[in-house]
Chains A and B, each alone.
Chain A
Amino acid sequence: DTEVTQTPKHLVMGMTNKKSLKCEQHMGHRAMYWYKQKAKKPPELMFVYSYEKLSINESVPSRFSPECPNSSLLNLHLHALQPEDSALYLCASSQAQGGNEQFFGPGTRLTVL
């Protein structure tokens, strides 16, 4: 299994809602990443988990809360988002943190109303 899966594919939420994005991989990778991508822009790194511990937080607002329950799962909890948070949220994994090849999921298209 060389796949990173993400659910849901699409999500529409209001500014007062609480929702979660999920990411899963079964490649035995020990680093997992959340990226945010706006239209026609490259992905921007949000968080990195290495061996289930938060390794990098790129000054992301607290309305985004990551969680890594185990080595295969990565969640992104969303609360009180703003319309400008609408974007494609990509999850990726790699064998270890750093320059290793990253495998990307298909992304979750988030729209905040």
Chain B
Amino acid sequence: KNEVEQSPQNLTAQEGEFITINCSYSVGISALHWLQQHPGGGIVSLFMLSSGKKKHGRLIATINIQEKHSSLHITASHPRDSAVYICAVGGAGNQFYFGTGTSLTVIP
């Protein structure tokens, strides 16, 4: 069993739709990270969370520490949001665990 599980694995949306990607983890964490990777590209850090909610432009990330669950929301999705979104957690034991990623395609 992976320490970090994401759903869905693949997601196709029409431009303008509201998108939610979910992440569940099973280890104790110091922080949870949402990362974005465009095809063939490097990884960009979107959020680092240890509690509550953060917002940056059209992106919102929430975390529920008790339930060991986080969500990434994209409002008014756009084709340029098409990418792989990866949830990762920083463990207490100096480890960094990655989820398997959610491949998002936004169709014009």
Binding site for A on B (CB under 8 A): 29-31, 33, 35, 40-45, 48, 86, 89-92, 94-96, 98-101, 103
Instruction: Report the Cα distance A109→B41, complex, angstroms.
Output: 9
Binding site for B on A (CB under 8 A): 6, 33, 40-43, 45, 48, 55-56, 88, 90, 92, 97-107, 109
Instruction: Report the Cα distance A12→B29, complex, angstroms.
Output: 38
| Complex A-B: 22 CB contacts under 8 Å | A41-B100, A42-B86, A42-B98, A42-B99, A42-B101, A43-B98, A55-B94, A56-B94, A98-B30, A98-B92, A98-B94, A99-B30, A99-B91, A100-B31, A100-B90, A102-B96, A103-B45, A104-B43, A104-B44, A104-B45, A105-B42, A106-B42
Q: Which residue of B lies closest to A43 (CB)?
A: B98
Q: Which residue of A lies closest to B91 (CB)?
A: A99
